[in-house]
Structure 1
Amino acid sequence: MLEEKVAVIYGGGGSIGGAVARTFAREGARVFLAGRTEATLDAVAEDIRSDGGEADTAIVDALDEQAVDEFVDAVVDETGRIDVSFNLITYGDVQEPLMEISVEDFTHPITTATQTQFLTTTSLGGRSSLPRRERTHSCPARRQYPT
């Protein structure tokens, strides 16, 4: 099902993101791992390559609109498309009793989740390079939620 597909995995160096990336690669996808920690991204990519898969890495802060757009543009420039985008970004929640944390600590994971989902989805949907994407048959970001 993923043979010759192009998959972007945000948070691809994490435990869940790495597992998803390895599975996608095993199923035949070329995976692009995006995240903030080079060592973990490289470790996952090396695992994938040692099993015969294709993996590329990029340092991308998914809270940075320009960085996300540049990453999406680079992947599309290289491959011509993105078939799958998977956001597995950690949210940095505080593990303390609710009555002992600040409003900022409480809302941080919520705003991080919302902002990264928005930026990664809208970039893929055409915010960064719409003219190139008009030649494709579908917009994967629009497949994320049933209508």
Structure 2
Amino acid sequence: MMLQNKNAIIYGAGGSLGGAVAKALAGAGAHVFLTGPNPGSIKKIFDEIIAAGGLAEIAIVDAFDEKAIDRHLQQVVSSAGTIDISFNAVGVDVVQNVPLTKYRPKIL
């Protein structure tokens, strides 16, 4: 498998995009670390990955909290040794007709 022995953290893993990416990475052999604020949606993705024979772990992490991210990254490195892939699928409200340089996302 292409990503065997690789570790991937997916922020927002309980959403449709994050869940799809997590399942694809796990299907390619990566050990995926699923994060998000909603344990129920993350557990659903976890169960699907495990049922398909993949490796996954769950952590409730607020991706807008830098200290929480740092703690989680340290935990992953301590347990897995490396972080090879980081994917951010955290949702923010989209605002139309605002120049990107002036846009400040509202946290969901």
TM over 0.5: yes
Relative to the length of structure 1, the TM-score reads 0.64
Matches within 5 A, 1:42-61: 42-61=43-62
Counterpart secondary structure, 2:105: helix
Q: Kindly provide the CA deviation profile for residues 45-68 of structure 1, in whole angstroms up to 9, marking residues without a partner as x.
A: 000000000110111111111100
Which structure exhibits the higher relative contact order, with contacts defined as CA atoms closer than 8 Å and separated by 6 or more residues?
Answer: 2
TM-score by length of 2: 0.86
| Aligned equivalents of 1:45, 1:64: Cα separation in 2 | 23
Paired positions, count: 101
| Matched residue SS, 1:107 | coil
What is the alpha-carbon distance in structure 2 between the residues aligned to residue 66 and residue 92 of structure 1? 23
Q: SS in structure 2 opposite 1:39?
A: helix
Q: Tell me the CA shift for residue 108 of structure 1.
A: 2.4
Secondary structure, counterpart of 2:35 in structure 1: strand
Larger radius of gyration: 1
What SS is found at the alignment partner of 2:57? Answer: strand
- 2:72, 2:52 → 1: CA distance? 25
Using the TM superposition, give the Cα deviation of residue 90 of structure 1 relative to its aligned residue in structure 2, in angstroms. Answer: 0.3
SS at match of 1:20: helix
Q: Which is richer in strand?
A: 2
The answer for unaligned runs of 5 or more in structure 2 is 98-102
Alpha-carbon displacement from aligned partner over 1:109-128 (angstroms, at most 9, x marks no partner)? 4xx5xxxxxxxxxxxxxxxx
Pair 1:77 & 2:78 matched? yes
Q: Tell me what 2:5 maps to.
A: 4
- Runs of 4 or more above 3 Å deviation: none
- % identity of equivalent residues: 44
Q: Which residue of 1 aligns with 2:104?
A: 107
| Aligned mates of 1:92, 1:38 — CA distance in 2 | 21
- Report the aligned-residue RMSD: 1.6
Instruction: Give ranges in structure 1 of 5+ residues lacking alignment.
Output: 99-105, 113-147
More displaced, 85-94 or 44-53?
Answer: 85-94
User: Aligned AA for 1:64?
Assistant: D
Q: 1:39 is aligned with what amino acid?
A: G
Cα deviations by residue, 1:14-72 (Å, 9 ceiling, x for unpaired)? 10100000010010000001111110000000000000001101111111111000000
Which residue in 1 is equivalent to 2:26? 25
- Partner amino acid, structure 1, of 2:74: D
